[in-house]
Structures are given as structure tokens and as C-alpha cells.
Chains A and B, each alone.
Chain A
Amino acid sequence: KNEVEQSPQNLTAQEGEFITINCSYSVGISALHWLQQHPGGGIVSLFMLSSGKKKHGRLIATINIQEKHSSLHITASHPRDSAVYICAVGARNQFYFGTGTSLTVIP
């Protein structure tokens, strides 16, 4: 049983497309993170959410606490957005991670 489920696992898009990655979780959380991991392994925290919506540049993250669901949107996608996107939730003094969505944006 995985406390955090992400979809899709793999995603290929044409440059310029609007992209959505989904995350559902089953535990009570204090916060949800969207992480980006580029080839080579380094992980960057894109957003931390406990309610509502956040926007940073072309990235938008939303969370619905009642439905235990979050989405990460990328507008006007670009090849440099190609990475693995990981949903992580903080709950019960630890993190739970989704298995990641591998995004490839083709020029």
C-alpha cells in the first residue's frame, strides 16, 4: 500500500503544451511538496502547500485537502522542464513519496 499515488508515471509532451501531473494521498498531512529531480539526481523543492494554490513562473500547484488531491501544472512547457516530478507529503513526523512522474518535453 502506497500512501501517495501519482499519475501518470510517464508523460511525453510537445513544447508549448499544458501539462498536468496528479497526486492523491491517503494520510492526514501537514503539508504537501512538489519536487523536481533532474538527471544526475539533485532534488529541488518547487512548492510546499498546505491549502489552496501557489504559482511560480509557469508552474502552478493546487491542493484540495478535503479530496486529498493535488495537481502540478506546467504552462507553455519547455524542453528544460524535462525531469522527474515527485509528490511528497509530510505526515506523522515523516515524509511519504510518490514514485514520480517522468516528464519529457520534445522540441
Chain B
Amino acid sequence: DVKVTQSSRYLVKRTGEKVFLECVQDMDHENMFWYRQDPGLGLRLIYFSYDVKMKEKGDIPEGYSVSREKKERFSLILESASTNQTSMYLCASSLLSGVTGLGAFFGQGTRLTVV
């Protein structure tokens, strides 16, 4: 069974902490994505990666960074967590570069609360 696994379902962190959200896929997908979901705004793209060590900024990259050292793992990093980063974070992966949407899978989401 194919899987995109996010390391945590729920996280509570303090303002100023460095936060790591991990996403692992076991389908050998090239593309991986990080989104955040907020009421009334839907899903917004933070960063995506189409290959190991490659990354591209999405619509709202400020306050975030990413790491993709291995093909199966895409990490989202909050360098210094702030309360406005309280949100649901969703990871996704897809099969082929340039043909996004084929064989796309989503993680279960991580609900992050920054206090």
C-alpha cells in the first residue's frame, strides 16, 4: 500500500523554537510538496522539490525552509516558530516531474499549534 507519512499528527511548540516537520514517501516519487491549510484560504503551497537537493519556493515561503537530502524524505523547517504559523501542514508527492498530478498522494496532515 502506497504511503505518504508525516511524522506527527499533532504538535505543540513554543514561539521561537525551531520546528521540523518530516514527510516520507515510499513510492520513489520525484515531486514532493509542503502546503499549509487555513480556514477560508484553502491549501497554499509553501515549497516543493522535484529532485534530491532541489527546492522551489511556493506561494508563501517566508518563515520556512526545506531540506531534501534523500529522494524519499522532504522536511519542512520553521526556523523560529511564530503564532501565525499555527496551521495544518500537509505533505504530498507525485510521480513525474513536469506531469504533476499523475499518481499524487497526500499525507495525513500535521496540526501545529505555536503558543
A residues with a Cβ closer than 8 A to B are 29-33, 35, 41-45, 48, 50, 86, 88-95, 97-100
Contact = CB atoms under 8 A, between A and B. Distances in A.
A91 B104 contact: no
Contact of A90 (B40, B90, B102): B102
B106 A94 contact: no
Interface string B32-51: 01010100111101001010
Given A93-B31, A94-B33, A95-B92, A45 B42 contact: no
B50 A41 contact: no
A17 to B, nearest CB: 25
Contacts of A43: 90, 106-109
A21 to B, nearest CB: 14
B100 interface: yes
A90 B31 CA distance: 12
A9 to B, nearest CB: 9
Nearest to B92: A95
B58 interface: yes
Interface in B1-49: 9, 31, 33, 35, 37, 40-43, 45, 48
Contact of A95 (B45, B98, B108, B111): B45
Contact of A48 (B9, B43, B101): B101
Contacts of A42: 108-109
Interface in B63-107: 88, 90, 92, 94, 97-107
Contacts of A45: 104-106
Given A31-B104, A95-B35, 18 more contacts: A29-B101, A41-B88, A41-B90, A43-B108, A88-B43, A90-B94, A90-B99, A90-B101, A90-B104, A91-B101, A94-B33, A94-B48, A94-B58, A95-B43, A95-B100, A99-B40, A99-B41, A99-B42
